[in-house]
Amino acid sequence: MRLLVTGANGLVGKALCTSLVQRGIPFRAAVRSPISVLTGLDNFITGAIDGSTDWQGALTDVTVVIHLAARVHVLNDTAENPLEEYSRINVQGTLNLATNAVTAGIKRFVYLSTAKVNGESTHKGQAFSETDEPNPLDPYAVSKHEAEQGLRQIAAQTGMDVVIIRPPLVYGPGVKANFSALLRAVQKSWPLPLGDIHNQRSLVALDNLVDFIMTCAIHPKAANQTFMVSDGQDISTTELVYGLAHASNVPTHLLPVPIWILQWAGRFLGKGDTIGRLCNNLQINSSKARDLLGWVPPVSVHEGLQRAVDGAVNP
């Protein structure tokens, strides 16, 4: 077995490549430019990823494609037409790669999608599952859903196995964006108005996601399946802050501000989406991964948070 890993220099890609090296599994790392080449590995430089990217050289002697490269969710997006930009990379680029993979005789195509295909939030205790009607609400999620649909059609027409993975928020060493900002605030022991949030959110540790991707690349029962994946332990935002503080060995100063005040302040300051992610529920049911594939997350939430803290970027 030889793998092609796209997006090899991203958060998940780097962790996956490290795991593949440790396991002695041969692979090729696809990166977009010479400056992002991963030292000591078999690299393939793709250039821009869209509907016209030539993947022929990357797919030589490959049996499984793990497609991680994407235009990810962008906060404060400045693109003139965000949906068009997401579609160019996430839909056209993905389906072009899959079509090239079929021509090259690839046996399996593993696609990293997102739980946002299901929607932005859940009612407490009512987790998203793979059988729910998709409800993508922003351009990023719409593009991922459209790519999923196209991949399923290619699989049905050609016989190439397609495996779709929908993770929630991924946390771990090197994570950036909102999680990193929250971690910095916690480590500075700033008073935070997050002491009275009793929501439930599913997360997935980077190490758990990498392990599950590898399972999907080789497990025969994963063929043509869609999976939700998480740590299997949902936590509240308040519990997350306490967990990060404990892992950082710093005191916490949480103020029990009612959620309605946070939501009002978020709308007033134009940060409604950010407050929503802190206060809303977003639970997923990952039992299919356990029941069908026998997969068990190798890392607990406690250990995952400790690894995220130890490998933090600019804490």
CATH code where residue 42 lies = 3.40.50.720
Q: What are phi and psi of 111, to 5 degrees?
A: -120, 125
Query: Does residue 284 form part of some domain?
Result: no
Query: Does residue 168 form part of some domain?
Result: yes
- Residue-level pLDDT at 315: 42
Query: pTM for the whole thing?
Result: 0.92
DSSP codes, the chain: --EEEESTTSHHHHHHHHHHHHHT--EEEEESSGGGPPTTS-EEE--S-STT---HHHHTT-SEEEE-------TT---SSHHHHHIIIIIIHHHHHHHHHHHTT-SEEEEE--GGGT-S-B-TT--B-TTSPP---SHHHHHHHHHHHHHHHHHHHH--EEEEEE--EEESTT--HHHHHHHHHHHTT--BS-TT----B-EEEHHHHHHHHHHHHH-GGGTT-EEE---S--B-HHHHHHHHHHHHT----B----HHHHHHHHHHTT-HHHHHHHHSBB-B--HHHHHHH----SS-HHHHHHHHHHT-S--
Residue pLDDT, tens place only, 152-209: 999 999 999 999 999 999 999 988 878 888 899 899 988 889 888 899 999 999 999 9
Query: Does residue 263 form part of some domain?
Result: no
Query: Does residue 249 form part of some domain?
Result: no
**CB count, 10 Å around CB of 148?**
22
Strand partners, 65: 4, 109
Given 86, 111, 140, 171, which residue is catalytic? 140
- Residue-level pLDDT at 133: 94
Query: Does residue 79 form part of some domain?
Result: yes
Provide the domain limits for residue 130.
3-172+204-231
Q: What is the mean pLDDT of residues 2-24?
A: 93
* Crossing angle of helices 237-248 and 301-310, rounded to 10°: 50
Q: Is 86 a catalytic residue?
A: no
Return the structure tokens found at 288.
């299919």
Query: Does residue 140 form part of some domain?
Result: yes
Residue pLDDT, tens place only, 20-60: 999 999 999 999 888 888 888 888 899 889 999 999 999 99
What does the alpha-carbon distance between residue 74 and residue 249 come to, in Å, rounded to a whole number?
31
Query: Does residue 305 form part of some domain?
Result: no
Return the structure tokens found at 279.
């206060």
Residue pLDDT, tens place only, 210-264: 999 999 999 999 999 999 999 999 999 999 999 999 999 999 889 988 888 888 8
What does the alpha-carbon distance between residue 204 and residue 171 come to, in Å, rounded to a whole number?
6
- For the chain, how many structural domains are there in total? 1
Query: Does residue 308 form part of some domain?
Result: no
